[in-house]
Structure 1
């Protein structure tokens, strides 16, 4: 155990006294919680999308809306499958000492999931507003979601880092 402590990868200034394995376990738990949040929302959206063809007004969709709908279904399924990938990988490498690598790969998968989910959210808003109001309003509404995503993904983290740097 002492040798394990000597190879700890925690930064000394972060207040944690954890080994590489302990850090991997903690990071894995945090990633799984993030995936759980993502999966719930995406599964609800996928369920919503899968019911649409069985609605009477679905036949009123124009060709663009049909294509957009199919793209949204593919995105929803992609996000769901990617969000399940780390669990599958964990099962396949369980007890093989690959947790640090699993955490690294899963973190990248989560970023891809978030990007695809962002496209899914913007697309669903565009799809609904297009159908309920007009294609122009749909594009504007979808664009507004893209702007919001940019604020959350780019501006938010920069603001947090700047606050951290000011506090240090």
Structure 2
């Protein structure tokens, strides 16, 4: 049974849940978020793996092949980071450390999102360089990168700061 102080601490965020219930809820939310990111990164990675087997690949410049290799490595790292919470959970399941597992899984997911961002930008650079050698390509890629950063990080951080009340 929770003490009165523990109950007050639990309710300070407006929810009537124990730390274990909070960890269960946060885990469920995190798994849903990972599913969205994981699907995208796996499709992107699968596409990247096929590029090397196309006839056009041999005609790419050395720079483009380097960008391709970097993109594939970033994609592989993103897949690893976004799948890691599943392995983490499976290994520590039943050890009564779910709050810690949620923290680590959250960190791995955030790392995976950063790697996904780098993969998408690198893939876009490669695709646009292959489509055209126009000098505007870096500007387009920079604009898309800025858009991702705005949507994925700036807007959520702004909303967090603006709408979060102090405990």
TM-score (norm 2): 0.89
CA distance in 2: counterparts of 1:86 and 1:120, whole angstroms: 20
Between the two proteins, the alignment pairs up a number of residues equal to: 164
Single out whichever of 17-26 and 152-161 deviates more from structure 2.
Answer: 152-161
Which residue is equivalent to 1:90? 89
Q: Residues 17-48 of structure 1: CA distance to partner in whole angstroms, max 9, x if unpaired?
A: 00000000000111111111111000000011
CA distance in 1: counterparts of 2:89 and 2:161, whole angstroms: 35
Gaps of 5+ in 2: none
Which residue is equivalent to 2:102? 103
Note closer, same or farther for the CA distance 1:5–1:44 as it changes in structure 2 (3 Å cut): farther
TM-score (norm 1): 0.88
Matches within 5 A, 1:38-117: 38-117=37-116
Cα distance, 1:158 vs. partner?
A: 4.1
Cα distance, 1:165 vs. partner?
A: 6.0
Note closer, same or farther for the CA distance 1:142–1:117 as it changes in structure 2 (3 Å cut): same
Cα distance, 1:64 vs. partner?
A: 0.6
Gaps of 5+ in 1: none
* Larger RCO (alpha carbons 8 Å, 6+ apart): 2
Query: RMSD value over aligned CA atoms?
Result: 2.1
Contact kept? 2:11, 2:17, Cα under 8 Å? no
CA distance in 2: counterparts of 1:117 and 1:98, whole angstroms: 28
Give the structure with the larger helix fraction.
1
